[in-house]
Structures are given as structure tokens and as C-alpha cells.
């Protein structure tokens, strides 16, 4: 008799646990697919010059399943976007903070019959430049440019920016062979467009010191050390 009672109690307990999890699963399922929890509003900074058409693909989807993978088309439409920070407010609001790749330098390519100025981003993406006085400038007069040229330029600018300098005063010229340039009253001879991160460290240090209003020449060599001639 006791065994039958114990069996019934265990069966009832098992049934209760099963019923609880079944109801819980059913409630979660209903919440996930309820029209109340479908995205109706996406808040973002609209004054950024980007293509937001693909955001419409997200509207109407369950807010529970929205993540960065839903914005693949947006990344394809806006190659200067680095990442999206997505947050949600139940039941139907999505907030998106847009992180843009860093703008590095304005490039004027005079090799073209119709020269245009473009902005080079950190991810090597370029777009037509608007008036921007806060960026350094690169002018290309001859070419072709070697492989990895723009990556080297990015390394140079990012390295120099680590120093306490007015980066917009940095002007660089490439003549198809070597880089020259200027920073305020200092002339720069940077040599071939190789090892520009190392060269940028030397240049940044010298410019930050502010003791040379003459000419800085960096000698290209096969050694790891950077040889510099100062004519101040």
C-alpha cells in the first residue's frame, strides 16, 4: 500500500514538473512571437550621411531575436561603418549607436585628368571629401603607388596622432618615389613609403619637441634603427 502511495506521489510530482515546464515554454513561445514584441521603431542618429534603407528589413521582426547579424545589408551599404551597438526597450523599440571607422587623411590624386579629393578611412575605404580642416593631407603627383601604400600612410598618421600635435597641419607629398612633407615650419623628408609607423614615431617625437623649424630627413636603410638628419 505504501509502495502504491509512493508511486502515485512520484507520478504526481513528475506530472507537476512536466506541466510547469510545458506552461513556461508555452508562455515564452507566445511572448516571443506575440505581435506586441515586434519591432516598430528603430532609433538612430539620422543626421549621419549613411544609407539607412536596410533598417526597414528589421521592422516587424521579433525584438527577442534582433542582433547585429540582422544588419549585414546595412554594412554592405555603408562601408565606412565599423560596428553597431544595439540595445532594446521592450516591447518594440530598438536603439542603434553607429560607430564609424576613423577618418585618416584627405588625398588629392593629381595623376587623374579630373583630380578629386577623397577621404581615406582606417579600413582603407575612400569617399569623396567634403570640407574638412581637421585632417592631414596627402597629395600624389606621380605613380604608380606601391602595394600597401595606403596602409603605410594610415600607419604613419595613426602613429603621429599619438603625439601632442595639430594633426591637420601635417601635409605629405608623394612624387612616385619618395614622400616629403611639412608640419608648420618643419620640412619632412620621409624617403620611400615603407616602415612609416617607425618613421612616424621619430617624426612625431621631433615635432612634439618643437625644437626644429628647419628640415628633418630620414635615411632609408635595411637596419631596424631609423637614422635621422636634422637641419634646424
At 71, which CATH number?
3.10.20
Structure pTM?
A: 0.82
Which of helix, strand or coil describes residue 217? strand
49: containing domain = 35-100
Residue 15 lies in a domain: no
Q: Both 87 and 113 in a single domain?
A: no
Per-residue pLDDT at 226: 78
Residue 13 lies in a domain: no
**Residue 171 · residue 185 · CB < 8 Å:** no
Per-residue pLDDT at 180: 97
Q: Both 117 and 186 in a single domain?
A: yes
Residue 16 lies in a domain: no
C-alpha 138/C-alpha 154 separation (Å) is 11
Please, which residues bridge with residue 118 across strands?
107, 128
- The model's pLDDT over 162-212, given as tens digits with 9 standing for 90+, comes to 999 999 999 999 999 999 999 999 999 999 999 999 999 999 999 998 888
C-alpha 215/C-alpha 182 separation (Å) is 9
Using CA atoms, how far residue 89 sits from 27, 41, 42, 114, in Å, is 20, 10, 10, 49
Q: Both 56 and 163 in a single domain?
A: no
Residue 116 lies in a domain: yes
Residue 148 lies in a domain: yes
Q: Both 41 and 57 in a single domain?
A: yes
Per-residue pLDDT tens listing for the chain (232 residues): 555 445 555 555 665 565 555 555 555 554 555 567 789 999 998 888 899 999 999 988 888 888 889 999 999 999 999 999 999 998 889 999 999 999 999 999 999 888 889 999 999 999 998 776 789 999 999 989 999 999 999 999 999 999 999 999 999 999 999 999 999 999 999 999 999 999 999 999 999 988 888 999 998 766 667 788 888 8
Which of helix, strand or coil describes residue 114? coil
Q: Both 53 and 112 in a single domain?
A: no
Residue 142 lies in a domain: yes
Among 50, 71, 100, where does a domain finish? 100
Q: Both 107 and 93 in a single domain?
A: no
Per-residue pLDDT at 121: 97
Q: Both 134 and 214 in a single domain?
A: yes
**Residue 138 · residue 157 · CB < 8 Å:** no
Residue 29 lies in a domain: no
Q: Both 196 and 88 in a single domain?
A: no
Per-residue pLDDT at 120: 97
Per-residue pLDDT at 76: 95
Q: Both 208 and 128 in a single domain?
A: yes
Amino acid at each position: 500500500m505504501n509502495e502504491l502511495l509512493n508511486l502515485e506521489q512520484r507520478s504526481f510530482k513528475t506530472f507537476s514538473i512536466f506541466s510547469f515546464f510545458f506552461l513556461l515554454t508555452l508562455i515564452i513561445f507566445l511572448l516571443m512571437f506575440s505581435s506586441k514584441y515586434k519591432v516598430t521603431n528603430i532609433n538612430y542618429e539620422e543626421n549621419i550621411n549613411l544609407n539607412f534603407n536596410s533598417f526597414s528589413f528589421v521592422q516587424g521582426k521579433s525584438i527577442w531575436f534582433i542582433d547585429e547579424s540582422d544588419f549585414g545589408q546595412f554594412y554592405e551599404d555603408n562601408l565606412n561603418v565599423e560596428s553597431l551597438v544595439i540595445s532594446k526597450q521592450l516591447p518594440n523599440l530598438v536603439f542603434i549607436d553607429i560607430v564609424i571607422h576613423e577618418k585618416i587623411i584627405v588625398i588629392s590624386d593629381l595623376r587623374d585628368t579630373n583630380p578629386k579629393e577623397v577621404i581615406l578611412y582606417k579600413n582603407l575605404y575612400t569617399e569623396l571629401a567634403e570640407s574638412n580642416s581637421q585632417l592631414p593631407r596627402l597629395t600624389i603627383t606621380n605613380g604608380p603607388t606601391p602595394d600597401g601604400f595606403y596602409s603605410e600612410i594610415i600607419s604613419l598618421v595613426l602613429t603621429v596622432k599619438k603625439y601632442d600635435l595639430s594633426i591637420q597641419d601635417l601635409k605629405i607629398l608623394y612624387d612616385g618615389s619618395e614622400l616629403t612633407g611639412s608640419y608648420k615650419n618643419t620640412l619632412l623628408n620621409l624617403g620611400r613609403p615603407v616602415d612609416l609607423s617607425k618613421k612616424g614615431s621619430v617624426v612625431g617625437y621631433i615635432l612634439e619637441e618643437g625644437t626644429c623649424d628647419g628640415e628633418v630627413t630620414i635615411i632609408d636603410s635595411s637596419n631596424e634603427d631609423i637614422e635621422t638628419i636634422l637641419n634646424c
